Structure 1
């Protein structure tokens, strides 16, 4: 796509016109494996450290943390959703899957770089769980560690659907971290809100897997330039996340309700 068409999709602000550091990120993308390993080691060390200690409250730091990530995610969602929405209306679904604007358009490239780095920052979520001695789910640490590696890998390959993956994640995190902020403040949001957030996460993973399938089917119809290896790992990752979040949804919102109903019936 030419520059004039790109300008039609979204206006680029001056602060978004930064130097392209994608070559640097592409060269050192394998560092993500080391960072993921360090993250897992720190989890083990942190849990051992807190084993015989009292939990920290951390309400104020957690509020600031969640609010900061909520604002960041909202801004990222607004900028990238506007671009993807315009791309869909002007070029259609197939073109949006094969489009490489997230590494060529200055605006989306800016938010793409921040998106990659945010996956390192989000490791801090786990620190709060450990220091507050909350239950650390397999889904949590598996998702955080693998999503950093995949995001670095996908950005390095400039693969099809990259704009979709990033845009959906920004949107879901905007809602999720806003909810965490309200919770950290000690307020009581509607009980159905956590279920809605998990539903959004499941939908995100389903759409992500679908994008991987469509990218494979349409790889010869447009200039996608994707390797089968990239498409395989895209589908595998999103399918794994879909299954894990679906299981979490069942365990958290259905099995718990069934268990409470059985206990109530026995007590009567």
Structure 2
């Protein structure tokens, strides 16, 4: 049995017999991430500088094709996501289906294989930044949702992994399953294989559903902690997750509306009014950054109010 000894985070647990690939060790991986998660912030800053520098560099240049490289990239990420889903789903079945929602949300995983894939998942968030390099080199539209999502997912994943939080299984399993379909879709697109529009809508819908579940389990853990129930996640980390998934939900939902519903509406309107300029039916998938900032501020205020109410209730009980 392997104990997570010397690990300063919230959880101290016994794990199943050591699972080792390339001498991987759960102790060292958790401790390293807990002490060095802030590197994800530096990586994010470097990522933005590189991406927007390339975008400026490409402004007066012809776009690169990169079709074969992009196909290979998407295939590799599809394989990785499918493998991660294969190893994470049994752990999710064991905890959620057999032991219930509270166990799956509030008791951290002791499955060393699942822990290994959570570690790989955290590292993969750096490699996924490569998606954006293809976009700017091919001079495609870079929307706010794309780069903002990559940065926030990287930082939150590294921050929370080092604490071995109980919600890790939820976040990793959902993301792996959705990415299996998403990157497979991208791979077919990069190979110029026709994909029905309904498939694209399904992928975006699954991303929205993922955000709803992430929002729900983060809220479940948050209110469990405020209620004084045992839950292996710090309040501030649950709050962070609550805000992250709320923000992602609104951004993906707006993308869905702009990408499919509004475009469909404009297309129908154009068919009934042929005298309109074709440009009138164009749309943009860029979410309004001011709306997202306002949403985050509102959520933070709500969380603070909940915390203040909880503190007042505890003080009244002590009196």
Is the TM-score greater than 0.5? yes
Deviations 1:4-51 (A, max 9, x none): x976xxx98764872222211111111111001111111110101110
Pair 1:50-2:58 in alignment: yes
Pair 1:159-2:165 in alignment: yes
Partner of 1:106: 112
Pair 1:34-2:35 in alignment: no
Aligned CA-pair RMSD:
2.2
What CA distance in whole angstroms lies between the structure 2 residues aligned with 1:44 and 1:63? 23
* Mapped contact 1:16–1:106 kept (Cα < 8 A): no
Partner of 2:105: 97
Matches within 5 A, 1:1-16: 15=21
Higher helix share: 1
Deviations 1:95-133 (A, max 9, x none): 0111211xx421011101110011000000000000110
* Mapped contact 1:17–1:110 kept (Cα < 8 A): no
Higher relative contact order (CA 8 A, sep 6+): 1
Pair 1:18-2:12 in alignment: no
Partner of 1:118: 124
Pair 1:252-2:238 in alignment: no
* Mapped contact 2:107–2:232 kept (Cα < 8 A): no
What CA distance in whole angstroms lies between the structure 1 residues aligned with 2:157 and 2:202? 25
The structure number with the bigger radius of gyration is 2
Q: Taking structure 1 as the reference length, what is the TM-score of the superposition?
A: 0.92
What CA distance in whole angstroms lies between the structure 2 residues aligned with 1:240 and 1:249? 14
* Mapped contact 2:74–2:187 kept (Cα < 8 A): yes
Moved more, 18-27 or 114-123: 18-27
Q: 1:17 to 1:200 in 2, by over 3 A?
A: farther
- Runs of 4+ in structure 1 off by over 4 angstroms are 11-14
* Mapped contact 1:159–1:224 kept (Cα < 8 A): no
Partner of 2:221: 215
Q: Taking structure 2 as the reference length, what is the TM-score of the superposition?
A: 0.77
Deviations 1:116-173 (A, max 9, x none): 0110000000000001100001000100011100111111222231210111000000
Deviations 1:167-201 (A, max 9, x none): 10000000000111111111012220110000000
Moved more, 210-219 or 51-60: 210-219
What CA distance in whole angstroms lies between the structure 2 residues aligned with 1:17 and 1:112? 16
Q: 1:16 to 1:95 in 2, by over 3 A?
A: farther
Moved more, 184-193 or 157-166: 157-166
What CA distance in whole angstroms lies between the structure 1 residues aligned with 2:178 and 2:22? 23
Structure 1 residue runs without a partner (length 5+):
none
* Mapped contact 1:97–1:215 kept (Cα < 8 A): yes
Q: 1:12 to 1:82 in 2, by over 3 A?
A: farther
Q: How far off its partner does 1:224 sit? A: 1.6
Q: 1:91 to 1:145 in 2, by over 3 A?
A: same
* Mapped contact 2:91–2:111 kept (Cα < 8 A): no
* Mapped contact 1:208–1:235 kept (Cα < 8 A): yes
Q: Which of residues 215, 230, 234 is equivalent to 2:237?
A: 230
Q: 1:193 to 1:17 in 2, by over 3 A?
A: farther
What CA distance in whole angstroms lies between the structure 2 residues aligned with 1:241 and 1:192? 22
Matches within 5 A, 1:45-84: 45-84=53-92
Q: Which of residues 123, 134, 145 is equivalent to 2:151?
A: 145
What CA distance in whole angstroms lies between the structure 2 residues aligned with 1:222 and 1:92? 15
